[in-house]
């Protein structure tokens, strides 16, 4: 994007424009991964503080502290330590809910209108980062409208006008982006990425079911605390808001259907707030926090750097081999770390340069581009190096494109390196094919 690439046109994914813009802004500071981690840490701290404020408004400060800590300590269990986008938009959604909690307890109508408008704008900004926020945005918008009806007792026409105004404020960021694509002539591509591709994406039922089962097991302790905490929250003015938020976050999770672990990150926020209610003394709070910390150290030990060092070594070795064996004539990462394009550096040879878009069968022809044609065009350009896992890393496999790449490297290249690249729960053997014939 810093070099003029347009999301969806030159760099394709189904994530909204705000997601691209967010990471481009961070990359403008530095491409060092630490920059992304530090930015994510700031957003995590902000979110935890907001959750603490919501909880502390009704319970002891220790309850608020516990809610914030529970949120932070749950993140590594759901991929929240890997700069996933919910880390960023969670802060916007939490901020919107904080504003709405204030409208639930005061009767100053002018202040309620202003506060609700700000809340809808935050939700609108979150929606430009992740489309699944639509579930929470609609639910919280309906709550705001009901709250206005309850407080102001407006006429039906006045009510419709106020609700329409808030809906427009929430939709404004997305409408502005859509208008921009229409003006520059890329409306069809934008519509396909944001709507058609999301609706047409296929799912592997067994894989999704396995992920859902694991997610349920990991989230069960926090859900149990949240159910117990609801008993204390249910008679308070904020109860309806928190209940609606929790249910809408669950709907947003179910909408995605693939059940990747980081999809659970948004629902951790209301669960943490509800849990805080029963952690209103230091002993309970300390016990819950210590237990959560123990689980983190057990399942995702933060002090185990062996995997990090191994991954760094494998990555650097691949980059060195690519540079030495034809990388200057073009790099094609068909099934491997996409960050290699940045490390070489090498311009990605196709807008579908995120490897799963080329090698994962459920991504076949999901974009406005033909997957087969894109791989064919890349191979026709005779890249000097190709990165290819020896065994597919994404199932179900797009065997059509994989066979095309295997044929190319078999006929034109030689294997110049092979490394073991650790992922969180597995080791991938990845080959670098280089010195490919022009």
pLDDT per residue as tens digits for the range 352-400: 999 999 999 989 999 999 999 999 999 999 999 999 999 999 888 999 9
DSSP 257: -
Phi, psi of 413 (to 5 degrees): -125, 175
Listed in sequence order, the residues at least 6 apart from 170 whose beta carbon sits closer than 8 Å to its beta carbon are 120, 121, 123, 124, 127, 137, 141
DSSP 432: E
Which tokens hold the place of 252? 């947003």
The whole model's pTM is what?
0.93
> For the purposes of burial, counting CB atoms within 10 Å of the CB of 170, is it exposed (0-12), middle (13-18) or buried (19 or more)?
buried
Q: HSE-up of 306 (CA within 13 Å, CB side)?
A: 3
Task: Provide the pLDDT for residue 137.
Answer: 97
DSSP 195: I
Mean pLDDT of 153-161: 91
Which tokens hold the place of 246? 């929790």
Query: Residue 328 above 90 pLDDT?
Result: yes
Name the band, by pLDDT with cuts 50, 70 and 90, for residue 87: very high
Q: What is the dihedral of CA 269, 271, 272, 274, to 10 degrees?
A: 120
Strand order, beta sheet including 331-335: 331-335, 385-389, 427-434, 414-422
Q: Are 73 and 292 in contact (CB under 8 A)?
A: yes
Which tokens hold the place of 93? 């959604």
Residue 332: count of CB within 10 angstroms of its CB? 29
Task: Label the pairing between strands 331-335 and 385-389.
Answer: parallel
Task: Provide the pLDDT for residue 37.
Answer: 94
Nearest Cα to 252, choosing from 141, 139, 170? 139
Alpha carbon distance 116, 142 (integer Å): 11
More confident residue, 317 or 285: 317
Task: Provide the pLDDT for residue 106.
Answer: 65
Q: DSSP letter string over 121-139?
A: HHHHHHHTT-GGGHHHHHH
Alpha helices, DSSP H, located in 185-264: 187-191, 197-200, 205-233, 239-256
Task: Provide the pLDDT for residue 217.
Answer: 94
Residue 214: count of CB within 10 angstroms of its CB? 12
> For the purposes of burial, counting CB atoms within 10 Å of the CB of 345, is it exposed (0-12), middle (13-18) or buried (19 or more)?
exposed
Average pLDDT for the chain: 94
pLDDT per position as a tens digit, 402-413: 999 999 999 999
Nearest Cα to 264, choosing from 132, 356, 149? 132
Residues forming beta bridges with residue 360, ordered by sequence position: 397
pLDDT per position as a tens digit, 42-79: 999 999 999 999 999 999 999 999 999 999 999 999 99
Nearest Cα to 191, choosing from 65, 314, 32, 9? 9
Name the band, by pLDDT with cuts 50, 70 and 90, for residue 208: confident
Task: Provide the pLDDT for residue 257.
Answer: 84
Task: Provide the pLDDT for residue 299.
Answer: 86
Alpha carbon distance 141, 43 (integer Å): 24
Lowest mean pLDDT among 105-109, 177-181, 430-434: 105-109
């Amino acid at each position: 994007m810093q070099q003029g690439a347009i999301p969806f046109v030159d760099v394709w994914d189904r994530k909204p424009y705000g997601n691209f813009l967010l990471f481009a802004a961070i990359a403008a500071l530095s491409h060092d991964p630490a920059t992304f981690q530090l930015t994510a840490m700031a957003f995590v701290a902000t979110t935890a503080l907001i959750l603490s404020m919501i909880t502390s408004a009704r319970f002891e400060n220790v309850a608020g502290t516990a809610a914030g800590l529970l949120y932070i300590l749950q993140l590594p269990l759901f991929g929240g330590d890997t700069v996933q986008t919910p880390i960023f938009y969670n802060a916007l959604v939490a901020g919107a809910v904080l504003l709405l909690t204030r409208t639930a307890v005061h009767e100053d109508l002018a202040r309620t209108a202003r506060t609700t408008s700000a809340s809808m704008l935050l939700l609108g900004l979150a929606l430009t980062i992740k489309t699944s926020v639509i579930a929470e945005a609609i639910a919280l918008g309906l709550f705001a409208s009901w709250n206005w009806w309850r407080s102001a007792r407006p006429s039906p026409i006045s009510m419709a006008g106020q609700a329409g105004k808030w809906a427009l404020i929430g939709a404004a960021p997305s409408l502005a982006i859509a208008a921009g694509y229409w003006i520059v002539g890329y409306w069809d591509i934008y519509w396909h990425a944001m709507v058609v591709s999301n609706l047409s994406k296929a799912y592997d039922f067994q894989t999704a079911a396995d992920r859902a089962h694991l997610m349920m097991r990991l989230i069960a302790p926090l859900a149990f605390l949240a159910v117990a905490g609801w008993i204390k929250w249910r008679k308070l003015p904020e109860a309806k808001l928190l209940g609606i938020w929790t249910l809408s976050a669950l709907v947003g999770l179910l909408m995605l259907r693939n059940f990747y672990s980081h999809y659970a990150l948004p629902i951790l926020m209301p669960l943490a707030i509800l849990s805080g209610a029963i952690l209103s003394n230091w002993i309970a709070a300390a016990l819950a926090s210590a237990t959560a910390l123990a689980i983190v150290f057990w399942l995702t030990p933060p002090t185990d750097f062996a995997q990090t060092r191994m991954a760094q070594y494998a990555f650097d070795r691949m980059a060195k081999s690519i540079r030495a064996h034809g990388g200057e004539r073009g790099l094609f990462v068909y099934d491997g770390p996409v960050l290699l394009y940045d490390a070489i550096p090498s311009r990605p040879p196709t807008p579908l340069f995120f490897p799963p878009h080329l090698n994962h069968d459920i991504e076949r022809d999901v974009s406005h581009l033909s997957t087969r044609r894109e791989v064919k065009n890349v191979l026709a350009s005779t890249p000097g190096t190709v990165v290819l896992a020896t065994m597919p890393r994404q199932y179900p496999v797009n065997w059509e494109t994989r066979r095309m790449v295997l044929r190319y490297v078999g006929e034109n290249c030689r294997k110049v390196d092979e490394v073991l690249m650790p992922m969180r729960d597995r080791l991938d053997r990845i080959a670098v094919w280089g010195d490919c014939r022009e």
